[in-house]
Amino acid sequence: MQIAEGITLIEGVGANSNCYLVECAGGINVLVDTGTADNFLRIKEHVKKLDVIVNTHCHYDHTGGNLLVKNEFGAKLLAHEEDAPYISSGDGEHTCSSMFGKVLTGVKVDIVLKDRDVILGTTGLEVVHTPGHTVGGICLYDRKRKILFSGDTLFANGGVGRTDLPGGDYEALLASLRKISLLDVDVILPGHGECVLSGGSEYIQDVLNSIG
């Protein structure tokens, strides 16, 4: 499903997160999250060329497809430095794969990310470190188009990421919401559920007002 020019939503089904194929400058294709291993065939229906996979955080419903997708397309895997060790090792507790009744095969993270990095330096996708749901959770911000890929930090129904799982921290999540409220956002593309297609900044502020 085409959400905006150059952005395709592969909608999450079952335990899978939403995944987003983003066509960036210079012909670089970025996939935001992979869902579980069960999502692989759906990704193949939409993706013909892939350069980069970015995990918004380490949880299995966003990372379980990493190995299959990485091997299929030869893409580099990127994640924040705080969550990268759990993805690389397949840590069953922090990735919550054990909670899903699955075993996550560890996949080496090729490039570890920090706050304010730009993916590959050229894509225009800025890393915004948003801990709270996990210690290494991130959003990706397309400043030019005012689009925020919010992972599990924020959802379209007013919900926010759980903080009762390993690495969760409610106060850190509130701080992350305040951080993204300072961005100029029109569209919010979350890790699950529907998208916010206009008025993103006002929406973030409304969520903050309701919980903070």
Q: Per-residue pLDDT tens for 128-138? A: 999 999 999 99
Q: How many CB atoms lie within 10 A of CB 93?
A: 12
Q: What value, to the nearest 5°, has the Cα angle with vertex 157 and ends 156 and 163?
A: 90
> Distance between CA atoms of 77 and 84, rounded to whole angstroms?
10
- Averaged pLDDT, 142-168: 96
Number of folded domains that form the chain: 1
Q: Where are the alpha helices (DSSP H) in the chain?
A: 40-46, 60-63, 66-73, 84-89, 170-180, 200-211
**What pLDDT, on the 0 to 100 scale, is given for residue 19?**
98
**Phi (first) and psi of residue 103, to 5 degrees:** -115, 125
Sign of CA dihedral 199, 204, 205, 210: positive
Look up the pTM and report it.
0.97
Tell me the residue range of the domain where 158 lies: 2-211
**What pLDDT, on the 0 to 100 scale, is given for residue 1?**
86
CATH number at residue 69: 3.60.15.10
Q: Report CA-CA distances (Å) from 152 to 49, 54, 57, 69, 108.
A: 26, 14, 8, 21, 22
How confident is the model over 26-78, as pLDDT tens digits?
899 999 999 999 999 999 999 999 999 999 999 999 999 999 999 999 999 99
Residue 166 pLDDT exceeds 80: yes
> Distance between CA atoms of 112 and 88, rounded to whole angstroms?
11
